[in-house]
Amino acid sequence: MQPTPSDVHVNAPLTNVSIAYLQDQAEFVADRAFPPVMVAKQSDRYFAYDKGNWFRSKARKRGPAEESAGSGFTIDNTPNYFADVWAIHRDVDDDTRANADAAIDVDRDATEFVTRDLILTREVQWAATYFTTSIWTGTSTGTDVTPSTLWDASGSTPISDIRTQLRSIKKKNGFRGNKIVTSDLVWDVLQDHPDFLERIKYTQTAIVTTGLLAAVLGLDDVLVGGAVINSVNEGQTDSLDFLFGKHVLCLYAPPRPGLLTPSAGYIFNWNARVGGFMRVLRFRMEWLKADRVEGEMAFAQKQVAPTLGALLASVIS
């Protein structure tokens, strides 16, 4: 029967719990690196302006009764996105609910469980789409760059290495890189690196924080991806490791999306569906004698401008 009860009614309390949980995830970078674009359709096109025409000086002197110099730019309307729907559920059976102690809220636990899964899935997709080798061309070489002296070795120069790539992004696009994304592994090295400690030794804390690192490099944000992933199936011995490896991604992304606004990437959130791009439902599964808590997210992650990103690959040993 269409529509189904879950299509016409969203369980607001569970959704609110889920959204609050989503906003509290400091270890995840997917929703902070690139500006989200709220879209009305699951798939659609977006426009890409020809970059070269915006950086030519075509104005010319004009004499009396002469026409001005003419110029223009081209627009590519072929780029597109498709927002896949990702879903996960957990069933809460009647017996478990009845046997739960008063301090345990099984519905809330189920909501946080499915929300965590969705957030982690979104982060995994972000890392696979953006935090990987051989896709960014904004570096000084046009390909991934590995420092000649790795940052956990004596004599390394992470500040100079990063600044070189931020400057390269500006040279190729007119916009200096304003964010970097890295991992816990690299961040631990940077926090103790003399290249940074020397510059902040007279600050109030004299401890490298992401805010101080951003200030030293002239960045809007330094994002440290701290997600941990279990790479084996349920029932097997756990195998946990950091999701983000030993890279640093330098990029340009605006504070918010807009027309004529370049960005290394965008996340298209299909927000016009019932309940928005993310929703958590609870509905009865009578044949199981259980309530199902089901979460969904609908989004597309797109690399938009490869020259607006520069990957420093394998910067530590």
> What pLDDT was estimated at residue 60?
78
Identify any residues that bridge with 309 across adjacent strands, giving them in sequence order: 251
Indicate whether 183 belongs to any domain. yes
In a domain, residue 66? The reply is no
Q: What radius of gyration, in Å, describes the C-alpha atoms of the chain? A: 24
DSSP state of 267: E
Looking at the structure of the chain, the number of domains it has is 1
| pLDDT per residue as tens digits for the range 66-106 | 887 777 777 777 889 999 999 999 999 999 988 888 777 88
Q: Residue 164's pLDDT is what?
A: 98
Report the C-alpha gap between 35 and 255 in whole angstroms: 6
Report pLDDT for 314.
Answer: 98
- The enclosing domain of 284 has a CATH number of 3.90.1690.10
How many other C-beta atoms lie within 10 A of the C-beta of residue 100?
Answer: 14
Containing domain of residue 202, as a range? Answer: 25-49+76-312
Query: In the chain, which residues have pLDDT < 50?
Result: 1, 5, 8-10, 12, 23
pTM of the model: 0.84
Cβ neighbours for 69, distance < 8 A, ≥ 6 positions apart: 58, 59, 60, 62
CA–CA distances in Å: residue 5 to residues 1, 2, 111, 238, 281: 9, 9, 19, 37, 10
Q: Is residue 264 part of a domain?
A: yes
Say if 141 falls within a structural domain.
Answer: yes
| Per-residue pLDDT, 205 | 62
Which two structure tokens, joined as six digits, stand for 149?
């002296």
The predicted pLDDT at position 9 comes to: 47
In a domain, 105, yes or no: yes
Evaluate whether residue 57 is within a structural domain. Answer: no
Two structure tokens written together for 208: 């490298």
Is 213 within the bounds of a domain?
A: yes
Give pLDDT, residue 259. Answer: 74
